[in-house]
Structure formats: C-alpha cells, structure tokens
Structure 1
C-alpha cells in the first residue's frame, strides 16, 4: 500500500484514513483511492484483514468534500461525478468485504464525513464530536450513501428534517439518534475505536458476517422470511470451525480461540 495511513497490522485491523490536516481535514481523494484498492484486495483475497477502522488524521474525522478544489475545476460536473463515483466504489468494496467497521469520530463529521460514519457498524465519538449533513449549505445533494443509510438509522421523516434543514448535531444528539454508538473522552476516541476493532478482528468472522447480513435483510424482509433466514444461518454456522470452537469453549469454560481455527 502506497501510504502508511492505509495499513493492516498484526491484529488484522485495516486502518483506512479518510482525511488529513491538509485542506482543513476535507475528504482526501487520494486516500479514498488507496482505501478502495486496499478493500478491493481484501475482497479478492490478496490482502488479509478481519476488521476496519475509519479515521481522520487531523483534528476532525472528516470535514466533508474539498469545496475549494471542485470550485476551482473547469468542469465541476465532471469533477464531482468522478469524486462521487470513486467514493462510492470504495464504499461498495467496504460493503462487499463483509468486515466489521468501526469509526473513530473525533471532531467534525460533515457532508461525506457524516456519510462515512453511517457505514460503520460501531461509531465512537467524544464530547466535541459534531455532525452536519452540509449539502444544502452549498446547494448540493447527498453522496456517500447518506440518502439511503440515514433513513434506516433515524427514520425517513427525521432524515428529511436533518438533511433539508442542515442540522448540526452535537455528540449527545447523535448518540440519541443512533448515529454514534458510544461516547468516550475526546482523547480516547481513536484508541477506543481501535480496541473495539481489534476485539472484533479476533472474533468469529462468520458470526459477524451473518449478523450484518441478517440486519440488512431485515429492513425489507417479512417476519416469516426473516425467521427462515435466521434458522438457516444459525444452523449453517453451527458446523463451521468457528461455530464448533465457540460451543466447545463455552462448555469447557474457556475463552474461544477463533483465530486458531481459521
């Protein structure tokens, strides 16, 4: 990988940095492209990873798109379409990887930054964390999946309200709405997010994948279909090495070693 801001460590945690202090912690297009290639490698099996951390390298998680950069481009339509397509391709591989995703949401998460937070299974913030859709403020519409994800988190009516009135959400409100999963001290946001990701990376991959699939499918499935999917999933997992290890460890009153049976 070209940048040390995109890396996998010995715990199997793939760290994806989406912004730096350059350009006011705006979304970094080059890091988006590097993240996409890393995730593509995971999907294709040429890079081993078991969990993802999304983070920013400056004072903010991500302050949104680089407005100055696309305003200066001679063809804004082409520039924004290319940037959105690249971001969406990266997010497509993030979803396809089926890895648990943890976001370290320090400072601002605005525009595309807020969209990225919505892709996390677990989002850790601090008292100074703030979020804002930001798109109406510059006369644009959402990207990064916000229009699809936010209604599923907060409900359609509330999502319309939040985006159209361009509300600024403090940490407590974001937690109440379910956008953030937990709040810790500001200086512990990144370390806490990493610790959670490392714990997930050491856990049962098949279980996490199944949980994510079931929760996703459950938003549109009938109860009967969802119950059938749950039955099939739990039965299938019971005969995998991880499923056997989990049950055996429980009966032996010891901690399961999921890495050891992979």
Structure 2
C-alpha cells in the first residue's frame, strides 16, 4: 500500500483498512489532490488481499462537504477540463470501492454534502452520528451531481425523493436520513467511531468469499432479468459452497463459531 498521503490517512488494524479524509480546515472538501489520492487509496485497498474490510470516515466536524469550490473558482477558462479531471479521479475511487471484494463501512461523523454523499452511500453499512446532516447542494452553485449520487440515490431512496434532494437542496438530519433509508444506523456522536470500528472488525472476521459474492450480486441486481440473475445467484452460492460455505456449514452442524480463513 502507498503509505504517504497529504489529504487523507490510511491505517491498518489487522485485516481492517481505515481511511480518514483529512482536510479538516477545508471541511474535508475534495480538491484535485484529494481526488487523486482517493483514487489511489481505493485501488490500494481493493488490490490488497489481506484487507478484509474497509472503514471510511472523516476528521473533524465534517465527513466531506463535497468538492472544493474555492479551488474550482480558480479553474478559469479550463473549468470544463479541470472539473472533468476531478470527477474522473473521484469516480475511479467510487468504482474501486464499489467493486472491491471487501465490504465497506462508512462512519459519517458530521456534515456531508455533494460528492461526500456519493462516497458515504457507497458503503455497504453506513453509520451516522446523530449530529450528521446531508445535503446535495450542487444546483446551489450551478453544477450537476457527480460521485455516483444519481446512480445510488434512486436505488436507495427512490426517484421522487432523489429529485427532491437534488432540485431543492433540502437538508436531511441524521434521523430523517435513517427514515429515508440513506443510512443504516444513527448513533450518538461519541459512540460512532467505536461502533464503526467494531463493525468493521466483525466483517473482517467474516466469510470473505461470501461477502464478495453478495457485493457483486447487489451491484448488478438492476442489470439483469430474473432468470439471468437467478443463474448468477446459483453460480455464486455454488462457488461459496466449496470455500467459506464449507467451514460455515461444518461449524453450524458442530454448534461452534466458524473460523473463516
């Protein structure tokens, strides 16, 4: 793994890779440097077979307040090219996180906006502090969404609610985000980090092949007809049966906790 980053940190705790967005003085906004580093760190954890779970969070009061608008203001006549570069790097990160084998836990520690929402909702399990809030805000500055928000949001909360969030820039507080299905769980802010860490460790001890297959099936669930998807499920459970499934079934029969390799 690449050990040194300037806009984020990467730490290992056993089989868990912890990524922390680390521009607290800039609300953890994604500038071009962070975009490139996110793409790199996502590739790093996705390609490391020793990583069995990934935890993504932010430092300070913000999870991520979206793209760095102050940097964008300096793009000048190259705004279209520079914006595309920023989006491309961010999208490489989103793709790597979405397609990696390891499950992704996101701990939303504070305010999240714009592209930060795209990063947050790519998590398989999204824990939010009770102080967190969510707003898209793109149209406030004359931009359209990126970061996978128009892909993931309709699938999570439906088209009508997605339209409302994008066109009105309505802010959702954490309890409402939970009610809408945007996050998995809301916790007191003081408990968020410990709970997210424990969850990531629990997943890291789980069945890696099973989790990989689940992620692949869910990512493609809207791409196929019923029969095609049933065939993919059949192939998936068959492959798991000679891997993690063998240990899981044996442990169940023996009335013991499974030990997944």
TM-score by length of 2: 0.91
CA contact (8 A) 2:10 2:20 kept: no
CA contact (8 A) 1:19 1:31 kept: no
The equivalent of 1:6 in structure 2 is 9
How far 1:57 moved relative to its partner?
1.0
- What residue ranges of structure 1 are gaps of 5+ in the alignment? none
Residues 153, 140 of structure 1: alpha-carbon distance in 2 compared, 3 angstrom cutoff: same
The answer to whether the aligner puts 1:145 opposite 2:154 as a matched pair is no
Distance 2:38 2:138 in 1: 24
State the superposition RMSD in angstroms: 1.9
Contact 2:31 2:71 in 1 (8 A): no
Asked if residue 171 in structure 1 is aligned to residue 169 in structure 2, the reply is no
Paired residues in the alignment total: 257
Name the TM-score, length of structure 1 as normaliser: 0.91
Q: Distance in 1 between matches of 2:187 and 2:11?
A: 25
Residue by residue over 1:10-36, the C-alpha shift from the partner in whole angstroms, topping out at 9 and shown as x without a partner, is: 421112223421223322543443332
Going from structure 1 to structure 2, the CA distance change for 1:32 and 1:18 (only over 3 Å counts) comes to: farther
Report the equivalent of 1:117: 120
State how 1:79-228 maps to structure 2 within 5 Å.
79-228=82-231
Gaps of 5+ in 2: none
Q: Is the 8 A contact 1:175 1:182 kept in 2?
A: yes
Measure how far apart 1:155 and its partner are: 1.1
> Residues 192 and 206 of structure 1: is their aligned pair in 2 closer, same or farther, counting only changes over 3 Å?
same
CA deviation string 1:204-260 (max 9, x = no partner): 0111111112222222332333223222221221111x22111111111111111xx
What are the superposed Cα offsets for residues 98-152 of structure 1, whole Å, 9 maximum, x if unpaired?
A: 2211111121110011111111111101221100011011110001010111111
Pick aligned residue for 2:247 from 241, 245, 248:
245
In 1, the alpha carbon distance for the partners of 2:127 and 2:209 equals: 24
Q: Distance in 1 between matches of 2:133 and 2:24?
A: 17
Cα drift, residue 52 of structure 1: 1.1
Name the structure 2 match of 1:57: 59
Deviation at 1:40, TM superposition (A): 2.0
Q: Distance in 2 between matches of 1:48 and 1:72?
A: 41
| 2:62 match: secondary structure | coil
* Alpha-carbon contact 2:31-2:86 (below 8 Å) kept: no
Corresponding residue number in structure 1 for 2:50: 48
Give the Cα–Cα distance (whole angstroms) in 1 for the partners of residues 98 and 91 of structure 2. Answer: 10
